[in-house]
Amino acid sequence: MPDSPSHSDDDLLRLISAGNEKAFLAFYRKHQAAIFRFALHMSGKPEVAEEVTQDVFVVVMGAAKQFDPARGTASGYLYGIARNVVRRCLERERPYLAVLDDPDNEYLARLADDRDIAIELAQSERVESLRKAVLALPPAYREVVVLCDLHELDYADAAVVLGCAIGTIRSRLHRARALLMEKMRAAERCTA
């Protein structure tokens, strides 16, 4: 049975490449949420994240044979596919996507019902500022922050996903974190 604990991701991908539908469903259920979150962090748009997630697993159905466990992990393979799909999607929608979104009105309405509105609003503003700061990073820096800090990939897996050396991942992550700190400090000065 493909969804049993004895089947690794490598086994599931091998079964998927042979056309095993149960293996695909088990693999999808295991990884769908992480791929959606990655796409959401990279794009800032739930609708883009949904499209990317769907496209990633369509690619997996057709290209599972291309996975080579000697080159990296299954999750690294998925993030690599997702990275490429996100880039294509953002390029295609570039004229239509704003870098920064307006706050979600439903969320603000829910906040009005909370007892300690000031504290929750301040925390929400910090989270929103951080989200905007991450989205404003150049793509190379945004990718390492999303992969390493938000999705907790180790440097080796991130290097495989991005097709670069581990040292490059370290330096990009260091620079990205410094840029984020600058952006967050600037946002705090603006709100003070």
Task: Judge contact between 147 and 170, C-beta under 8 A.
Answer: no
Q: Which fold has domain 1-98?
A: Rna Polymerase Sigma Factor; Chain: A (1.10.1740)
> Helices H, strands E: what count in the chain?
9, 0
Q: Which of 142, 123, 140 is nearest to 183 (CA)?
A: 142
Residue 4 pLDDT > 50: no
Q: What is the pLDDT of residues 22-61, one digit of tens each?
A: 999 999 999 999 999 999 988 888 888 999 999 999 999 9
Residue 98 pLDDT > 50: no
Confidence grade of residue 100 (pLDDT, cut at 50, 70, 90) = very low
**For the ranges 89-93, 150-154, 169-173, the one whose mean pLDDT is highest:** 169-173
Q: Whole-prediction pTM value?
A: 0.62
Task: Judge contact between 78 and 31, C-beta under 8 A.
Answer: yes
Task: Judge contact between 56 and 78, C-beta under 8 A.
Answer: yes
Q: For CATH 1.10.10.10, list the domain ranges present in the chain.
A: 107-192
Mean pLDDT score across all residues of the chain: 80
Residue 112 pLDDT > 70: no
Confidence grade of residue 118 (pLDDT, cut at 50, 70, 90) = low
Confidence grade of residue 168 (pLDDT, cut at 50, 70, 90) = very high
Tokens representing residue 154 in the block: 């180790």
Distance CA 79, CA 77 (A): 6
Please provide the CATH number assigned to the domain covering 107-192.
1.10.10.10
For range 98-107, the mean pLDDT = 44
Q: For CATH 1.10.1740.10, list the domain ranges present in the chain.
A: 1-98
- Would you state the pLDDT for residue 191? 64
